[in-house]
Every structure is written in C-alpha cells, then in structure tokens.
Structure 1
Amino acid sequence: MIKILIVEDEEKIARFLELELMHEGYEIMKANNGRIGLEIAEKEEADLVILDVMLPELNGLEVLRRLRKSSDIPVIMLTARDAVMDKVSGLDAGADDYITKPFAIEELLARIRTALKKRVITPKKETDILKCGLLSLDKLRHKVMYDNTEIELTNREFVLLQILLENKNIVLTRDMLMEKVCGYNYVGETNVIDVYVRYLRTKIDNIFGIKIITTVRGVGYVIKDEEK
C-alpha cells in the first residue's frame, strides 16, 4: 500500500486530507509541525509527502531543504500563499509540485498520481555516488567530479545529470525530464532541457573530450554505461 505523509498544522485540513486519501486507498501518516514531520519523513518508508509551508518549529521550506539532503521522495507543497516567488522558492528547494489553498481534492489527487508516477524515473539506489566512467556525482555532497577535477554545475544542471545517471541506458523524454528538473508548474521555454543539456556538454564533454549524454532524435536523452 502506498504511504503518504501529511505535514499540516491545521487539524481540520489534515483530517480532511486523511479521510479523502484513505478513501482512495492510501495509508496515511500525519505530523502537525515541521520538526516532527521531518523526523517521520527521514525514518519512515513514505512514498510521498504533502507539506504545508507555514508550520511551527520548522517551516515547510526548511523541512524540504533538509529532506532533500538525503531523500528524493516526491513532495507536494501545500500553502495558502499564491505569490509567484513563494512557488519558485518551493520548486527550487526541490518540491515536485505546488498547490494553493483552497483547492479541489480532485486536483490534489491528480497531482499525487502524477508525482508518484514521476518517482519511477528516479528510483532509490543503494549508493549516493553515481558514476559513468571517470565521471562521478555525489548526491549528498552535491558535487560532480571528472577524475580528480571538480565540475561546477548549477542546481538544475546537477538535477538533470543526476536523473540521467540514475537511469543509465533508459531513454528519458524531454517532457519527463522537464517535469522533474523544472517542476510540474513550469512555465517557460519548451526547449529548456535542450538548453541545459548543451550547458552540461559545454562543461563536461568539451572540457574533457568525452561524450556523456547521447541524443535520441525525436525522443530525448540517455546516458549509456560507458562514456565514448
């Protein structure tokens, strides 16, 4: 059974979500403050977190930042705020989606289904070090190295490279990558993934004379087991 953690300090909302999600067949865990929510998220095998932004003890964004140091569990931010910068902050901190109160339960359920599907793209690995030849990516230290040389990447470049490394030999479409790298609510240039792939090639392939990311014409991108 899929487990969902609800971190929400408003009891009526938390209870409403609990009943609706249980009705849909999910197993529910709850926390009414950020510190407890973080502890549960780190210790329990939840499949998704619904995380309010305005929480006592630790706010939702801080919970998310700390959680992302050790976990890629899908997180949907839930808040009364609707300012663009608040949404951007949540997505940049690693949220998979963002929904504003008040909301229709049908919309939240749809976003939960989408977030759970996206998790298939980035399965958990036994190691926090991802490798392709001499290239290595350290998820916890947020560091990329080629042999003994560190490569400076932006957050989105890092996330894109991580997703591709976690799914070696699997061709990922541009849409799949865009949702994971830029967020469900991304509004902007549709070729953003092509742009970031070009940035990665400039910083890795061009510098070290290798070919890490392969283009699959008309589909997307893939990193194969061995660099060429």
Structure 2
Amino acid sequence: MYNVLIIEDDKDMAEAMRKLLVNWGYQASVICEGFEQIWKPFEAAEPHIVLLDINIPAFDGFYWCRKIREVSSVPIVFVSSRDSAMDIVLAMNSGGDDYIQKPFDAHVLVAKLQAIIRRTYEYRTAETQLIECSQVILNLNDTKLYYGEECLELTKNEFRMLRTLMENRGRVVTRESLMKQLWNDDLYVNENTLTVNMNRLRKRLEEIGVGDWIQTKKGMGYLIP
C-alpha cells in the first residue's frame, strides 16, 4: 500500500483529499499546520509521494520542494489554485514532478498519482521481475545484481537489504526497518550486526563499480537517492 503525504493549509481540502485517497486504497497522512518545520512529520510519514500546496504559511511550497529534494527523490506533485505559466515553471524547476490546478477532478488526481507511482516504483518486467535504480538492476528471481557487464551473486541478507532499499528509492529506510527485514524472528540481534552487514555489502558494490550508492543519514537510516 502506497503512502501519500498531503501538505495543505486548508483543513477541509486536506481532509477531502485524504478521504479520496483512502477510498482508492492509499494510505494518506496530512500536514496542515506547523509549516515552519515539516521535517519531523515528513520523516515520520515516510511517503511514497507528496501532494504539496504552494500557498502555505511561513515558507511556500517551492521552498519546501527544494528542501525535500536535498535529501530525497520522492515524487512531489504540486496541487494549487495558482494557474500562471510561471508558477508551473517554478514548480518544475524546484523539483516537482507534476502540477495539478485546483479545483481538480478526483479521477484526474488519482490517475496522475497512479502513473507516477508506476514510473517510480513499479519498473519491473513480468518475466524476470527486475528492479532498476540508476542503472543498477536487481533480479528478484535469482537474487543477482547487475551493473553494466558486472554481475554480483548476493547473499540472502545482501539481497534483502538491497531489495528493501531499492523498493524505497528516494526514501530513508530506518535501521529498525532493515533489522526487521533481516532478523524478524530474533529479538536479540545487536545493531552492530546490521552495520557489519551494510559495510560488507558496500564493499562488494564498490568492487563492481557502484561506490557511494547507499547513503547513511545520521540518526535516521540508509537511502538510495
């Protein structure tokens, strides 16, 4: 289930959008106050896609789009009543992926979200089940990683870590989430074990030319941009 974060200061509009998305099978969370600092609710939501208004208090949507782009490539769709060509240009130049003008048709909004999610998260072939990020390809059938002409045979833990990170490309994956993926049945695993596994994986990736790919976000977790 994909999670949509709505950043909108009109509470009625935000709630209407949330209900619409929930009815279509999405998870949806809302930020409609505290616009001076949205980092904590943004990190807590771990969204797959962001719906962002332009006219919000303190800092406008263009500002927050640029700030989000500094740490994440999560898709951002501007939803605004502003309709000038310059607003659309600024939205795209700030790092936005699409622009929807209010008032909008509910079916158009959902269709645009579905298209962006397909492009961003569902790039796989039915036959071989591939995930591709930055020319690095993970085969879900044989658990091999491909980069150019290089092929890497992954261990079980390496495959689980990479699959989780690649499926959440552009979003920080917490250490707790990775540990749960790797050792769900063991409640007493030391966190250092994850660090050792991650360092070993990074070293193997460097050997095939994929260096500095998995980023560490201090105090948060790991990210593939």
Q: TM-score, normalised to structure 2's length?
A: 0.53
Q: Which residue matches 1:65? A: 66
Question: 8 Å contact 1:41–1:67 — kept in the other structure?
Answer: no
Report what 1:86 is aligned to: 87
Counterpart check, 1:25 vs 2:25: yes
User: Which position in structure 2 is the counterpart of 1:52?
Assistant: 53
SS of the equivalent of 1:22 reads helix
CA contact (8 A) 1:35 1:63 kept: no
Amino acid at match of 1:85: M
Partner of 1:9: 9
Aligned to 1:166: 134
Q: Secondary structure at the match of 1:94?
A: coil
Task: Give the whole-Å Cα distance in 2 for the aligned partners of 1:98 and 1:115.
Answer: 12
Q: Aligned partner of 1:92: which letter?
A: N
Q: Is 1:118 the counterpart of 2:119 in the alignment?
A: yes
- State how far apart, in whole Å, the 2-side matches of 1:119 and 1:38 are: 22
- Residue 43 of structure 1 deviates from its aligned partner by 4.0
Amino acid at match of 1:70: V
Deviations 1:48-93 (A, max 9, x none): 1100000012211111000000000011001110000100101011
Quote the offset at 1:121 in angstroms: 7.7
Matches within 5 A, 1:66-215: 66-120=67-121, 166-168=134-136
Contact kept? 2:29, 2:45, Cα under 8 Å: no
**Identity value in percent:** 27
1:53–1:78 contact (8 Å) kept in structure 2: yes
Q: With structure 1 as the length reference, what TM-score do the two structures score?
A: 0.53
Q: What's the offset of the Cα at 1:28?
A: 1.1
Q: Is the 8 A contact 1:74 1:115 kept in 2?
A: yes
Rounded Cα–Cα distance in structure 2 between residues aligned with 1:38 and 1:80: 25
**Structure 1 Cα separation of the partners of residues 37 and 17 of structure 2:** 18
Letter in 2 for 1:96: D
Note the residue ranges of structure 2 that are not aligned, 5 or more in a row. Answer: 124-131, 138-145, 147-207, 210-225
State the AA in 1 paired with 2:4. Answer: I
Unpaired segments ≥5 residues, structure 1 = 123-163, 171-224
